[in-house]
Amino acid sequence: METWIKKYLPRLVSNLSPCGNCPVVNTAKAFNLPGQKAVVELLENLVAMIFPGCHGHAPVAAETVEDLMRRTLADTAVRLRDQVQRAFAYQCKFDRCRNCGDCRKRATRAVTALLDRLPAIRAVLQEDILAAYEGDPAARSTMEIVMSYPGVYAITVHRIAHELYREQVPLIPRVLSEYAHARTGIDIHPGAQIGPGFFIDHGTGVVIGETTIIGRRVKLYQGVTLSALSFAKDAKGHLIKGVKRHPNVEDHVVIYAGATILGGETTIGHDSTIGANVWLIHSVPPRSTVYNQEPQPYIKPRKPTQAKNKKVRTQRAQRML
């Protein structure tokens, strides 16, 4: 190995070193983009301020919690402003400063808007937590939900990312949502609009697209997909961005596991129930129940000799223990 290092390592480093316009290298001289781990660390700080003592290593001291929050929020504000400023600067470079103002001022406005919204975000999350407690008979307490339910963590991150998305912050909202996706298996685009009292039970495999609009007190189960039916293209064959392409789900709707609902013109009317594995590409009126026709299972009875042989094998196995 020492011989290889001496002989080949300089050439390998030269071949891997950043090129002038390399799209996969983030350097201070070139893109100077936010660091993924730095963004995630700031996210965890914000989550800790929404739920003090719930996601750390130990409970916080009651007599010092306000001082801790003051110091953490001040530090997070400055550092997040720096990361958002870098994201805006990158976007300006990418768009050649089209409709671009002062990146630092824009970053300050975006971060202060998010911080000002934190109390309101926590109030909405309390409705989400209550919906989870009321909707899951296995839940023993709201604290259990806060500390362990992946759906609550995913919607917490989404509500933070969505505020930055509303402020048109590039890159960072998507970094946050994909971090939550990797951690929970729940993929919510930061652009999705989701009302209070939202609950994802189990969670794994849920996909909610960018232009989805979800009302109040909606419940999803695992594997639900709210996505696009097709992608509009311009005359040159390029995808047209920013158009409504994901469905609307009105208030008090329940969507069971594996259901797929597609299309920007598709609306699920309020107080409806969508059954498991349903495929929908058209709207459903309010108070509807939609389900697939129940298949007829084929039940093959075991022959008596098979049952007897299984009993004998079981008895032999028990004697061997």
Mean pLDDT of 239-254: 92
pTM, two decimal places: 0.84
Helical pair 65-95 and 103-135, crossing angle rounded to 10 deg: 120
Does 180 have pLDDT greater than 60? Answer: yes
Amino acid at 221: Y
Hey, which bits of 82-177 come out as E strands? none
The rounded distance, in Å, linking the Cα atoms of 302 and 306 is 6
Which domains, and CATH codes, for the chain? 27-185 (1.10.3130.10), 205-293 (2.160.10.10)
Residue 237 structure tokens: 């064959």
The rounded distance, in Å, linking the Cα atoms of 148 and 292 is 33
Does 23 have pLDDT greater than 90? Answer: no
Burial 119-141 (b: 16+ CB within 10 A, else e): eebeebbebbbbbbbeebeebee
pLDDT at 298: 86
pLDDT at 187: 98
Least confident of 95-99, 250-254, 299-303: 95-99
Q: Are 215 and 251 in contact (CB under 8 A)?
A: yes
Per-residue pLDDT reduced to its tens digit, 252-289 = 999 999 999 999 999 999 999 999 999 999 999 999 99
The rounded distance, in Å, linking the Cα atoms of 203 and 45 is 24
Per-residue pLDDT reduced to its tens digit, 46-89 = 999 999 888 776 788 888 888 989 999 999 999 999 999 989 98
Q: Are 252 and 268 in contact (CB under 8 A)?
A: no
pLDDT at 313: 63
Per-residue pLDDT reduced to its tens digit, 215-230 = 999 999 999 999 999 7
Least confident of 19-28, 124-133, 187-196, 250-259: 19-28
CA angle 124, 128, 133 (to 5 degrees): 145
Q: Are 262 and 280 in contact (CB under 8 A)?
A: yes
pLDDT at 19: 60
Does 211 have pLDDT greater than 70? Answer: yes
Q: Are 270 and 215 in contact (CB under 8 A)?
A: yes
> Band of the pLDDT at 97, cuts 50, 70, 90?
low
> Band of the pLDDT at 311, cuts 50, 70, 90?
low
Percent of the chain with pLDDT over 90: 65
pLDDT at 93: 73
